[in-house]
Structure 1
Amino acid sequence: MPRTAVTFIHETDSIVPSLVFLPPEKEERFFIRIFLRSGKMDLALGNPMASRKSLHELFPVTGPLVAPQQVHGTSVVKAAPGNAIPERPKADGVLISDPGVEGSLRFADCFPVVMASAVPSPWIAILHSGYKGTVLDITGKTCESLFRKEGADPSRTWAWIGPGIGKKHYFRKMGEEWTTEGLRSFFPGCSRIEGENAFFDLGGEIRQRLLAGGLKEDNICSIPLCTFHNNDVCYSYRNGDRENRLFLLAWLR
């Protein structure tokens, strides 16, 4: 029986455990996985090409790899040969609209945000949304670009959020400029103050930005893993992982 909802599978029986993001239609056209803590990812030390090479036996390379230099901004580059390694354009998102080029991003507490659709033709957008990227609204700005300029249909778009650091573990000092900006701009219920610290629900805020961008609630899937708390499965910068990164890899078939 075909699926009718956006979902994911946690594959733990592989030498490289991963989360497989599954769209409800034309699943065979999409490859979207985030590779979790493992010996192979440990050895890659967050290097995108080393991470990709370590996966080649399991998932043969389908084309050049786009792996932008992530700068906690809102720029999104297209998955095109001119943006592929050895080029490393500064960006925090990759838009994949054609087969033959792979897109990738890396994470260790910041949130992966994936959007995809089969309409008007298959496409995938992968985003890196940490605290600053969430405050700057990389998700909302990408929605605006996709739906107003690229002709995508928000009602037929699916999204996945996470895994990233949970709201119980992400906090910033009160009085800092970026803290103040987050308290000002986040949706109600996505921040709280405890003493000298402000806690932020990044995943919840990203969901609100997707809804504001036009996505349907039922088309958004939040991954129930906290990178800080589930540090046996994920890498977490705040929990001591200074170099290793989760590796998000996507392409169209």
Structure 2
Amino acid sequence: MNALPARLAIVDDDQDHAAYLAQYLQPRGVAVTAYHDSDEFLTSPQAFEFDFYVIDLMLPGVDGVDLIRLVRRRGPAGIVVVSGRMDTDVFESVMRAGADMHLMKPVRMEQVALAIEAVHRRIEAGRTQAGAWRLDRKARQLIAPEGTRIDLSENDQAVVECFVAAQGATVTHATLCERLGRDPAAEADNLLHAAIYRLRRRIERATPAGVPLHAEPRVGYSFRGSLTAT
């Protein structure tokens, strides 16, 4: 189990603090992307594809607490709040919004890293113990760990079959395009992204389980979780 997440987003308008944290984490194997306001973050194509988020509360644009709610709705990624906001109810607000931990500025970088490691360890342990997803080919349904059956379109099923065959490995853009009957050399990335987006939304609407589809930048997509087919 990795001690720290592979990809992490910092959303903080304090550019010095974000830069120091990135410099502390990157030598430890974490790919860090910093956003300096919530609008910049939300308009990024990869906004909801990170393994972990470190979020400030006093942000230009969407308020930090609302931003936490948006991130949490998209899945079980780790969220640590690092903020100087002094409201009496700030801790309760961020925890109810979906944060995993709250740290008050000023804070040492090693303390933030320890908080990230603790939350990430718990999430990874939970993934290991979670039930498997299953593709019911005959019914054309994806079955979530808690038993919810999600109806799939023909294209959805073709995509899920790719993840079944990959057994946890990343499925390339070319492989997905070929399975969908499209020419990888001519296919625009946004059409493939749209197909993955529709599948993600189908899962989100059907079950509270975290969506296991994750983009691997410039490579393809992976299914993070046990997936079998019958």
More helix, by proportion: 2
Q: Which TM-score applies when normalising by structure 1?
A: 0.22
Which fold has the larger relative contact order, with Cα–Cα distance below 8 Å and residues 6 or more apart in sequence? 1
Higher CA-based Rg:
2
Q: Which TM-score applies when normalising by structure 2?
A: 0.24
